[in-house]
Amino acid sequence: MFPVSFGSDNHSGVHPEVWKALLKADEGFAPAYGEDPLTLEVLNKIESLFGGDCQACFVMTGTGANVVAIQNLVKSFNAIFCAQTAHINVDECGAVQKFTQARLQVIPTTNGKLTPELIGPYLLNNRDQHHSQGKVVSIAQSTEYGTLYSIEELKVLADYTHQQDMLLQIDGARLANAAAALDCSLKDITKEVGADIVSFGGTKNGLLFGEALISFRPELTSDIRFYRKQCTQLFSKMRYISAQFDAYLKDALWKKNANQANAMATLFSESLRNIPEVEIVQPVQVNSLFVKMPKKSIEELREKYHFYIWDEAKNVVRLMCSFNTTEKHIVEFISDLKSSLVR
């Protein structure tokens, strides 16, 4: 245990309002598997938040959200295009490949973002029976580099994807941070740009567990409840996910938490830019920073703080801020960093 962790927004605790909602949900009895009144009510709220004419359901984890979403859209002979840094490629132990039997077509990027120009060359062999057929473009908003797709970039990508007879899936584990940073609604960066299915994460932003899946193509995802069951993502006591999301949606807690995490990352970056020996190597747009610093400083700081080395060869680390990251945490880190540089 570390008193302060910049390792991941998964390392943060649970927001007090979410704990209150969980305790309230713990009273009495309720039907299981999402048949309780609270779950039905909260799913309706989520569908409204994303612009209506969509279908929402709950899963337990972010990996589960990606697996269930993509499994509805592909056959085993299909290919799923994603950035090389994508969570489905790097951090999900081949879960998407295991459950879909489809192929991941990994595309190198400098900033974690896909574009039509990057995808195009991988479609040259599409429709040839000897090759996996491209069907899904999977992106993360925000990306694993903490970079953002603008609304216009999302529209261009969605239009291109559909022109190629493919579908756009958005891994929204940090969708709240993206909407907060872009100062727009969740609908603006999902339904309005032409996304087909998205996830709305909570675990990285103050919830104990649980993610929401929102399909804008119900005709393509009519079997989603069966895939969810097969993927072991159907939680029996669903009201405990629903109660968390009920608190999450109330007074836009999701946005308040995301704004706090983003603001702390901005403050962090402003302090780091004043240190000549340190270089921020990716734009700071949400709650993550990618920072190059002397190896000696990394080693000393990791004795007190938890964070991950992103690129060991280049001495680049990732620093993540959470809804409960405070200015004091950052001031202390900066002070310790400066001290390490003069020793």
User: Which single residue is written with the structure tokens 């993360």?
Assistant: 140
Q: Which residues contact 226 (CB under 8 A, 6 or more apart)?
A: none
Query: Which contiguous run of DSSP H or E holds residue 140?
Result: strand 133-140
Query: Which contiguous run of DSSP H or E holds residue 169?
Result: strand 167-171
Provide the pLDDT for residue 117: 98
Tens-binned pLDDT, residue by residue, of the chain (343 aa): 778 999 999 999 999 999 999 999 999 999 999 999 999 999 999 999 999 999 999 999 999 999 999 999 999 999 999 999 999 999 999 999 999 999 999 999 999 999 999 999 999 877 788 999 999 999 999 999 999 999 999 999 999 999 999 999 999 999 999 999 999 999 999 999 999 999 999 999 999 999 999 999 999 999 999 999 999 999 999 999 999 999 999 999 999 999 999 999 999 999 999 999 999 999 999 999 999 999 999 999 999 999 999 999 999 999 999 999 999 999 999 999 999 998 7
Contact yes or no for 167/137 (Cβ under 8 A): yes
Contact yes or no for 187/49 (Cβ under 8 A): yes
The one-letter code for the residue type at 23 is L
Provide the pLDDT for residue 247: 98
Provide the pLDDT for residue 3: 83
Provide the pLDDT for residue 303: 94
DSSP 72: T
Contact yes or no for 172/143 (Cβ under 8 A): no
CA distance 224 to 276: 52
Provide the pLDDT for residue 78: 96
Give me the half-sphere count of Cα atoms (radius 13 Å) on the Cβ side of residue 52. 0
> Domains in the chain, ordered, with CATH?
15-251 (3.40.640.10), 253-342 (3.90.1150.10)
> Two tokens at 37?
């009144």
